[in-house]
Structure 1
Amino acid sequence: MPDHRVPTPVRRVLESRRAFPMLLIAVVVGATAVDASAGPGLHIAMFTGIVPMIAALWCSYRWTVAVAGVYLVCLLFVQVFTVPLWSTASKAVGIFSAVLVSVFAVALCRVRGERERLLARTSMVADVVQRAMMRELPLTVGGVRVAGFYVSAQEGARIGGDIYEAVRTPYGLRFMIGDVQGKGMPAIGAGHEVLASFREAAHHKPSLEMIAQRMEEALARYNTQSAERGIQERFVTALLLETPAPGRARALSCGHIPYYLVRGDEVVECHDGEGGLPLGLGVLTGEPRRGAPADCEADDWLVLCTDGVTEARGRDGEFYPLRDRLTGWTHLGPADLARALEADLTRFTGGRLKDDATLLVVRRLPLRQEPFPEPGWEARTDREAVPVPVSELAGPSAPEPGSAEEPPLPPR
C-alpha cells in the first residue's frame, strides 16, 4: 500500500531515477554559487556534505558517483577561490574532508546495491517456494472456478497460517480450507503438513472422515517433532467439502467457521458437518469425526473463508459484515466478487489486518465457456456466465464408497 504520509509530488521526485539526483546536484551547485557571490564571509557549501550521503541511500551507483564528483569539485573550488584568507593547513583539511565524504558515499552506495541484489535473489527464491506450496488463485478444477483472495498478516509474505485446496478425485470434487493456530510465517510448517496430507488422502480415501483422520495423523507427527525441538505445537481448523455425484454434497467441519451458500439473492449461513474439534485436538475426546449432507439446490454457489475475514475489525471495533456484503453483491461473478470483497475489507480495516485472511468463491463454469486462464492473463468474453448448481459440481456420477462398482484406487 502506498505511504500516504509522504506528499505525492515529493514521492514522485524520490521515485524518479533522474529528477532526484539532478535536484541534489542543483543544491550543491547553488550553494557553491552563493558562496562565490557572497565572498569569504559566507560558507554555505561547507554544509552540503550530507548531499552525497543522501544520494548513496536513494540513487543508483552511477548517479551517486556523479553527485559525489560534483560535490568534490565544488568544495575544491570553494577552498581554492572563495576563502583566500584561510591558511594552507585549513584548506588541506577541508579538501581532505570533501574527498573522504565523496569516497565514503560511493562505497556506501556500492554496499547498498550488493545488499539489494542479494535481497532480490532471496525474495525470488522465497516467492517460488511459496507459490509451489500454495496454488495461486484463481483455480479451475473439473469445470469449477475457484476465485478468491489470500492476504497474509505478515508484511512481505504471500502465505501464512491459512491453507486451501481444490482437487478432482475418483470420488468427485473435494475442497478444503483451513486456519492454523497463530498467523504469518511461524504457522506455515503446520499448515504445510496438513495441506500435503489432504492432497494425498483426497485421491485415495473414499470419505471425508478418513481424509480428516489422515490430516489429524500428519499434524500429530508434526507436533511431536515440534515438541522435541522446543517449537510450539499447533492445532488447525479445517472445513472439508465434496460433491461425489450430481444432487449430492457432503461437508465435514473440524472446528472451522461456517461457510455461506448463495441462493439467488439470499445468503445462507451453513453449519453442515459441525461438531468436531480442530485438527490436533481430536484426541481429547476420542470421538470419530462425522460429516453431514449439505443442503444444495439449483443455482447455489459457495463462499468459504477463514476467521481472518469474519473477525476483522474496523476503526470503530465492529466485525466485518461479510454476510451483509454478500447479500448486496450476489449479482457479481466469482472473480468480481472476490475483488470487491478484498477491496472492501481493506477499506473497512484501514489496511491493518491482525490475522491472515482467506476467502474462496466456488462456482461451476458454464459448459460453453472457455477454461479460466492462468493467473497473470485476462480473459474477456461477451457471454454471460450462467451459474450451475453446486450439487452438480462433480460432473459424472461417482460410485458410493464401498460399493461393488467402486473404481480401483490410483497407484501411490
Structure 2
Amino acid sequence: MSRSPTRAEVRAAVSRRLLPFALVLAYLVAVVVIDLRTPAYLRLDVYAALAPVTAAAVCTYRQTVFVGLVDFFLMVAHHGVLTAESSPVNRVGSVLGNILIVGAAIAVARLRRDGDALLERVRATGEAAQRALLRPLPLRTHSVVVDGFYVSSQRDALVGGDIYEVVDTPYGTRVLIGDVRGKGLGTLGAGAAVLTAFREAAYHRRDLDSGVAAMEQGLTRYHRSAEYQARTADAHAAEEFVTALVMGTEEDPAARDGSPGEVPVVFVDCGHPSPFLIGADGGVRELRAAEPGLPLGLGELVDVPRSRQRVTLPPDCRVLACTDGVTEARNRDGGFYPLAERLDAWAALPTPELLERLRADLAAHTGGRLQDDVAVLVVERAPGSEAGR
C-alpha cells in the first residue's frame, strides 16, 4: 500500500539531510576559532581538513563542495598567501595540501552521489518489475474489496516467496494467496509461474478446481524448464512446492434465498494456513478445511481431488487469509505469534486500522527480524455489490 509522506515525515527527512551538514560546519568553525586563539606555530589546519573528508561520507555532494570551499579559503587565508609568518615553502604546502584534500573529498562525494543515483535507478527498475508481479493493495472487484500488506524478509526487496492476486472474471471474483517453499528473491520464478497460470485460468475456467489444476500444470512446466534445471543442477534441490488458498465468489444455488448482501465464497485449500472469518459482532472463527489438500507441485502424489469449502459471507463480515510468515513468526523466546487472539481483540476495528495494528504488532513480536516473508489479505464485501458477482 503506497501513500504520500506526511508533513512530519518530510520534516524528519529534511532534518536527516541538514543535521550532518550543520555538525560538520560547526566542527570546522570550532577548529578555526581554536586555531586563532593558539600560537602560530601550533598548526591545526590538518584537523580542519577532516571537515570535507567527513562531509564526503555523510553529506550531499553540494554540501561537501560548500564545506570544502569554506575549509580551503579559511585555511589559505590563515596559513597561506595572506600571512607572512611562515616560510614560502610552508605557505605553498598549505595551499597544495588543502587543494588535494578538498579535491579528494569532492571526488569521493561525487562518486558516492553517482553510486546512490545508480542504486536508485536499479531500485526503481526492480520496484516496477516486482509491482508487475504483485499489484499494490487494496484491489477491488464488483463483489469484494481486498486489502492487506506484504513484507519481504529479504532486506530492500518488495516481494519474495509469498504471492497474491485478485481477478474480476465473468464467473465472479477470484482471490489467490500462496507461499513458495523458501524465501527471498530466489523463489520468484515459481511464484511467477503460479501467478501467470492463475490469472489465465481465472478468465477461462468457471470452477476453482480446474483453475487449481492449471496452476499445478504451470508450476510443473516451470520445474521442467531449462532455466530451473540449470539453477538447481549444482544445488541438487528438490522441486519447489507452493502452498495456496484459492477463493472465489461463485454463484451458490443454496445461498440464493439467503439474506440480502450475503456473498457465497468457495475455498480450495492447497496445504495453506486456514483463513479466519471475522464476524460483524466481533467474533472470530477459523475456517479450517476438513481435509486440507496437498500443496501445488505435489498433487500428483495422490488421486484424491482437493476439497472445496463453501462459506456464506454475511454483510459486514470479513475473511482474513495469511501466509505462515504470520502464524509461524516467533519472538525471542520462541513463541509463535498469537494471530487468533489478536484478531479477536481487533475484530471490531475497520480493515485499514486492523491491518496497521497487525503489521506493527507482528514487527514488535519478532523484534523487527522476520524469519519468513509475510502476506496478509482481508476480503470483505464491496459497498453496493451484489452477492455472487
Q: In which range does the TM-score fall when normalised by the shorter chain?
A: 0.7 to 0.9
Local SS of the residue matching 1:230: helix
1:239 shift after superposition: 0.8
Match of 1:238 in 2: 244
Q: 1:106 to 1:234 in 2, by over 3 A?
A: same
Shifted more, 191-200 versus 151-160: the winner is 151-160
Counting matched residue pairs gives 360
1:364 corresponds to 2:381: yes
Taking the aligned partners of 2:85 and 2:170, their CA distance within structure 1 comes to 93
Q: 1:14 to 1:51 in 2, by over 3 A?
A: farther
Q: 1:295 to 1:16 in 2, by over 3 A?
A: closer
Taking the aligned partners of 1:271 and 1:260, their CA distance within structure 2 comes to 8
8 Å CA contact 2:277–2:287 kept in 1: the answer is: yes
Unaligned 5+ segments in structure 2 are: 1-11, 256-263
1:276 shift after superposition: 2.1
**TM-score, normalising length: structure 1:** 0.80
Match of 1:375 in 2: none
1:227 shift after superposition: 4.0
1:70 shift after superposition: 1.6
1:172 shift after superposition: 2.2
Match of 1:144 in 2: 144
8 Å CA contact 1:235–1:280 kept in 2: the answer is: yes
Match of 1:187 in 2: 187
Taking the aligned partners of 1:297 and 1:33, their CA distance within structure 2 comes to 74
Shifted more, 152-161 versus 259-268: the winner is 259-268
Cα distance per residue 1:76-97 (max 9 Å; x no partner): 2343489977554344333322
1:276-291 to 2 correspondences below 5 Å: 276-283=293-300, 285-291=301-307
8 Å CA contact 1:173–1:393 kept in 2: the answer is: no
8 Å CA contact 2:77–2:83 kept in 1: the answer is: no
Match of 1:117 in 2: 117
Letter in 2 for 1:204: H
Taking the aligned partners of 1:183 and 1:362, their CA distance within structure 2 comes to 25
Q: 1:249 to 1:23 in 2, by over 3 A?
A: closer
1:98 shift after superposition: 1.5
Q: 1:14 to 1:169 in 2, by over 3 A?
A: closer
Match of 2:211 in 1: 211
8 Å CA contact 1:208–1:291 kept in 2: the answer is: no
Q: What's the Cα RMSD here?
A: 2.5
Unaligned 5+ segments in structure 1 are: 1-10, 369-391, 396-412
1:138-177 to 2 correspondences below 5 Å: 138-177=138-177
Q: 1:131 to 1:12 in 2, by over 3 A?
A: closer
1:219 shift after superposition: 0.8
**TM-score, normalising length: structure 2:** 0.85
Letter in 2 for 1:97: G
1:252 corresponds to 2:253: no
Shifted more, 199-208 versus 166-175: the winner is 166-175
Taking the aligned partners of 1:363 and 1:227, their CA distance within structure 2 comes to 37
1:298-317 to 2 correspondences below 5 Å: 298-299=314-315, 300-317=317-334
8 Å CA contact 2:142–2:168 kept in 1: the answer is: yes
Taking the aligned partners of 1:276 and 1:355, their CA distance within structure 2 comes to 22
Taking the aligned partners of 1:294 and 1:280, their CA distance within structure 2 comes to 24
1:12-411 to 2 correspondences below 5 Å: 15-17=16-18, 20-80=20-80, 87-225=87-225, 226-231=227-232, 232=237, 233-246=239-252, 247=255, 248-263=264-279, 264-272=281-289, 274-283=291-300, 285-296=301-312, 298-299=314-315, 300-367=317-384, 393-395=387-389
Shifted more, 248-257 versus 175-184: the winner is 248-257
